[in-house]
Amino acid sequence: MCGIVGYTGFRQAAPILLEGLERLEYRGYDSAGIAINQGEEIKIIKSMGRLSALREKCGGGCCAPGFVGIGHTRWATHGRPSDVNSHPHVSENGRIAIVHNGIIENFAALKEMLMKRGRVFQSETDTEVAAQLIDYFYKGNILEAVARAVRELEGSYALGVVCSDDPDTLVAVKSHAPLIVAYGEGENYFASDVMALVSHTKTVSYLDDDELAVVTKDGIKFYTPFLDTVSKEKFTVDWDVSAADKGGYEHYMFKEIMEQPEAVFRTIEPYVRSGRVDLSDMLEKDYINKMERIVIIACGSSGHVGVIAKYNIEKLARIPVEVVLASEFRYCDPIINSNTLVICISQSGETADTLEAQNEAKRLGAKTLAIVNVEGSSIAKSAEKVFYTKAGPEIAVATTKAYSTQLAATVLVALYVADCRGAISPSEYESILSELKAVPEKMRKILDDKSNIQYLAYQHFNNEDLFFIGRNIDYALSLEGSLKLKEISYIHSEAYAAGELKHGTISLVVNETLVIAVATYERLVEKTLSNALEVKARGAHVMGVTKESLKDKLSSAMDEIITIPDTHDVLLPSLAVLPLQLFAYYIALYRGCDIDKPRNLAKSVTVE
Ligand code: AGP
């Protein structure tokens, strides 16, 4: 997934584009570039590598004077990271320059068609095909050429276009990829998301699929694919610029780990009134009592939230819950009907696998509820109902505060559904709600006492292979602990159901293999203890993660132990995830990894 940004106005465009790209770099960072429309020509400056390389190449922007331009930061899909494959891409005659986020699935056929008509290509990318195609249809009106060209495109795209014949104008168009336009005073913008522009404006409009926008310094006009004009609502985003910087922390990830208590509080507080959870604006009670099952669909860490939610919702509400990877859902002939509640979980709200899975679930008749962190995102707009988490902008590629707010949201859903179905006793309901409201304070206690975790990370940062094991919600949490470690420290790790390890994979356990035994769930702690002893008997080094009241039971069997405050079972993962996040963070820190922008990753994967 890539980041695109455009500016037209009275200020020099290049510095504004570079700043916007800096705020979008979390979307992809293997190469970057800008194009400045200088009238007679379009000046292109681009380079492989981080944005800092581009900034240096264009002297902070002063090597590219001009008031209109587009910019791009890349996560390679077609064509390896290189100078020539970097965006912006231009038509052969240099008249059209574009930036693109997405994948044009029929680019090969279009490229062949254009080459047969004499067009010569420079790069391996699908984006260059789009630039050449726009120029192929160009008859003097850039809007008409873009509208005509995109009718030939299949796949996903958010495009920003400049044309040397039209020096004041930007054209923007999207299909199945995020794109916003934004309003200034005598200047206007487009971008992949509002983060790029939050220091300039908070007034935005969201383009719907296939709509086009013509952006000039005097205003923004919107069109259908057949060039009928449409009007778009303006929104004011409630993020402030402080959310987009590190606030004095070394990494966004650490800042976001530390922000979790407040993020969880902001997420649950609006839905708890007079000691009751009220989600009635998302889920009608009649439907809750009619529905037959819940299917949770997501990717990555959001999928791990789904696995925990499955255990919690089934335990409290006694309704079947299935968790399906979004990338699998569409191709497994899912059995879905109007009595199925499909819950899609996504931080970005732009994950293509999850968006397409949600659309498939809707087509099959399901009721859809999306748990999303970004307002106005594609998954939020496509869902029937939305539960917005209040994590605020999450910049680090590895999610932390969004994960925790999603977890809190699913506990509210579990409580509400259980209560509506009469499946939970008043005392259990009150106990869980009381403990949920205490989660932020208990999180703060864990975060205040992180030195032991930092010390343990220092003992183990040279490991190259380790296991996370647990049972029930501890297993579900192990999935996230393992992914956090893998994605930022590049250490290979596996999360395994503790009871399953002995059925084969235990053959990989040798002397000093690090095994992290997550054992907070009291009902199964003896079982997990036995599994920990099994690996210890084979030479493993076992670190336990448990709750205070179980520490004595486990400490003799563990080489090290990390504890969390006691809480209700359904909330154990909300607390136990913090030590696992911190452990991964500190290990990556000691290994000198690029924590906020890990190799090969992007914050939101908007391609399938
Ligand atoms: C989380 O640390 C990863 N960056 C990744 O697994 C992420 O959770 C996944 O891509 C889903 O993203 P979403 O929540 O924005 O849909």
Q: What atom of ligand 1 comes closest to residue 354's alpha carbon?
A: 16
Instruction: Please give the distance, rounded to the nearest whole angstrom, from the Cα atom of residue 190 to the centre of ligand 1.
Output: 24
Cis peptide before 88 (omega within 30 of 0): yes
- Count of Cβ atoms closer than 10 Å to residue 377 Cβ: 25
pLDDT (mean) for 238-244? 72
Instruction: Please give the distance, rounded to the nearest whole angstrom, from the Cα atom of residue 484 to the centre of ligand 1.
Output: 11
Instruction: Please give the distance, rounded to the nearest whole angstrom, from the Cα atom of residue 474 to the centre of ligand 1.
Output: 20
pLDDT band at residue 27 using 50, 70 and 90 as cut-offs? low
Instruction: Please give the distance, rounded to the nearest whole angstrom, from the Cα atom of residue 168 to the centre of ligand 1.
Output: 38
State the catalytic residue, choosing from 2, 163, 299, 420: 2
Query: 449-593 has which fold?
Result: Rossmann fold (3.40.50)
Return the pLDDT at 24. 81
- Count of Cβ atoms closer than 10 Å to residue 405 Cβ: 30
Instruction: Please say if the pLDDT value at position 240 is more than 80.
Output: no
- Ligand 1 pocket, Cβ-based, cut-off 6 angstroms: 299-302, 346-348, 351, 354, 397-399, 487, 604-605
Instruction: Please say if the pLDDT value at position 185 is more than 90.
Output: yes
Q: Whose alpha carbon is nearest atom 4 of ligand 1? A: 398
58 phi and psi, to 5 degrees? -105, 20
State the catalytic residue, choosing from 367, 390, 547, 603: 603
Q: Which of 577, 266, 506 is nearest to 409 (CA)?
A: 266
Q: Can you say how many angstroms the Cα of residue 312 is from the centroid of all Cα atoms in its chain?
A: 23
Q: What atom of ligand 1 comes closest to residue 605's alpha carbon?
A: 10
Residue 162 identity (one-letter amino acid): V
pTM: 0.83
Query: Domain spanning 3-240: which CATH class is it, in words?
Result: alpha beta
Return the pLDDT at 211. 95
In the numeric block, which tokens belong to residue 29? 């960072």
Q: Whose alpha carbon is nearest atom 16 of ligand 1? A: 346
Hey, which of 305, 307, 324, 347 would you mutate to test ligand 1's pocket, going by the most ligand atoms within 8 Å of its Cβ?
Answer: 347
Instruction: Please give the distance, rounded to the nearest whole angstrom, from the Cα atom of residue 351 to the centre of ligand 1.
Output: 8
pLDDT (mean) for 315-338? 96
Query: 246-444 has which fold?
Result: Rossmann fold (3.40.50)
Q: Can you say how many angstroms the Cα of residue 499 is from the centroid of all Cα atoms in its chain?
A: 32
How confident is the prediction for the chain on average, in pLDDT? Answer: 94
Instruction: Please give the distance, rounded to the nearest whole angstrom, from the Cα atom of residue 301 to the centre of ligand 1.
Output: 5
Least confident of 63-77, 171-185, 497-511, 512-526: 63-77
pLDDT (mean) for 389-410? 96
pLDDT band at residue 159 using 50, 70 and 90 as cut-offs? very high
Contact 558, 532 (CB under 8 A): yes
Instruction: Please give the distance, rounded to the nearest whole angstrom, from the Cα atom of residue 118 to the centre of ligand 1.
Output: 42
Distance CA 156, CA 38 (A): 29
* Residues facing residue 46 across a β-bridge: 33
Percent of the chain with pLDDT over 90: 83
Q: What atom of ligand 1 comes closest to residue 487's alpha carbon?
A: 2
In the numeric block, which tokens belong to residue 202? 């908070």
What is the tens place of the pLDDT at every residue in 429-444? 999 999 999 999 999 9
381 is catalytic: no
Hey, which of 75, 297, 388, 399 would you mutate to test ligand 1's pocket, going by the most ligand atoms within 8 Å of its Cβ?
Answer: 399
Q: Whose alpha carbon is nearest atom 2 of ligand 1? A: 398
Residue 166 identity (one-letter amino acid): D
Q: What atom of ligand 1 comes closest to residue 406's alpha carbon?
A: 14
What is the tens place of the pLDDT at every residue in 102-117? 889 999 999 999 999 9
Instruction: Please say if the pLDDT value at position 311 is more than 90.
Output: yes
Q: What atom of ligand 1 comes closest to residue 601's alpha carbon?
A: 4
In the numeric block, which tokens belong to residue 191? 């971008």
Instruction: Please give the distance, rounded to the nearest whole angstrom, from the Cα atom of residue 346 to the centre of ligand 1.
Output: 7
Return the pLDDT at 177. 86
Q: Which of 457, 459, 463, 454 is nearest to 511 (CA)?
A: 463
pLDDT higher for 445 or 608? Answer: 445
Instruction: Please give the distance, rounded to the nearest whole angstrom, from the Cα atom of residue 300 to the centre of ligand 1.
Output: 5
In the β-sheet with 465-470, what is the strand arrangement from edge to edge?
492-497, 465-470, 514-518, 541-547, 560-564
pLDDT band at residue 604 using 50, 70 and 90 as cut-offs? confident
What is the tens place of the pLDDT at every residue in 256-302? 999 999 999 999 999 999 999 999 999 999 999 999 999 999 999 99
Instruction: Please say if the pLDDT value at position 380 is more than 70.
Output: yes
pLDDT (mean) for 8-34? 88
DSSP class of 82: -
Contact 527, 501 (CB under 8 A): no
Return the pLDDT at 59. 87
Here the contacts of 545-551 (C-beta below 8 Å, separation 24 or greater) are 545/516, 545/517, 545/518, 545/519, 545/520, 545/576, 545/579, 545/580, 546/518, 546/519, 546/520, 547/520, 547/522, 547/572, 547/575, 547/576, 549/522, 550/519, 550/520, 550/522, 550/525
pLDDT band at residue 77 using 50, 70 and 90 as cut-offs? low
Distance CA 329, CA 393 (A): 28
DSSP class of 208: P
What is the tens place of the pLDDT at every residue in 196-213? 898 899 999 999 999 999
Q: Whose alpha carbon is nearest atom 6 of ligand 1? A: 300
545 phi and psi, to 5 degrees? -125, 115
End-to-end CA distance of the chain: 10
Q: What atom of ligand 1 comes closest to residue 402's alpha carbon?
A: 14
| Residues forming CATH 3.40.50.10490 domain(s) in the chain | 246-444, 449-593
Instruction: Please say if the pLDDT value at position 243 is more than 80.
Output: no
pLDDT (mean) for 386-390? 97
Instruction: Please give the distance, rounded to the nearest whole angstrom, from the Cα atom of residue 302 to the centre of ligand 1.
Output: 6
Q: What atom of ligand 1 comes closest to residue 484's alpha carbon?
A: 2
Distance CA 126, CA 403 (A): 33
pLDDT band at residue 245 using 50, 70 and 90 as cut-offs? confident
Q: Can you say how many angstroms the Cα of residue 427 is from the centroid of all Cα atoms in its chain?
A: 37
Of how many residues is the chain composed? 608
Q: What atom of ligand 1 comes closest to residue 298's alpha carbon?
A: 16
Contacts of 562 (CB under 8 A, 6+ apart): 452, 453, 456, 543, 544, 545, 546, 579, 583
pLDDT band at residue 194 using 50, 70 and 90 as cut-offs? confident
Instruction: Please give the distance, rounded to the nearest whole angstrom, from the Cα atom of residue 53 to the centre of ligand 1.
Output: 27
Distance CA 65, CA 41 (A): 12
Return the pLDDT at 86. 78
Return the pLDDT at 178. 86
561 phi and psi, to 5 degrees? -145, 140
Instruction: Please say if the pLDDT value at position 304 is more than 70.
Output: yes
pLDDT (mean) for 388-414? 96
Q: Which of 55, 75, 53, 64 is nearest to 97 (CA)?
A: 64
Distance CA 348, CA 380 (A): 10
Distance CA 431, CA 425 (A): 10
Rounded to whole angstroms, what are the CA distances from 514 to 319, 399, 479, 517? 37, 24, 16, 10
| Residues forming CATH 3.60.20.10 domain(s) in the chain | 3-240
Q: What is the DSSP string of 428-483?
A: HHHHHHHHHHHHHHHHHHHHHT-HHHHHHHHHHTT-SEEEEEESTHHHHHHHHHHH
2 is catalytic: yes
Hey, which of 1, 296, 329, 351 would you mutate to test ligand 1's pocket, going by the most ligand atoms within 8 Å of its Cβ?
Answer: 351
Percent of the chain with pLDDT over 70: 98
Return the pLDDT at 47. 86
Here the contacts of 505-508 (C-beta below 8 Å, separation 24 or greater) are 505/467, 506/534, 506/535, 506/538, 508/465, 508/467
Hey, which of 605, 606, 607, 608 would you mutate to test ligand 1's pocket, going by the most ligand atoms within 8 Å of its Cβ?
Answer: 605
pLDDT band at residue 30 using 50, 70 and 90 as cut-offs? confident
Residue whose tokens read 């996230």: 480
Hey, which of 253, 348, 410, 593 would you mutate to test ligand 1's pocket, going by the most ligand atoms within 8 Å of its Cβ?
Answer: 348
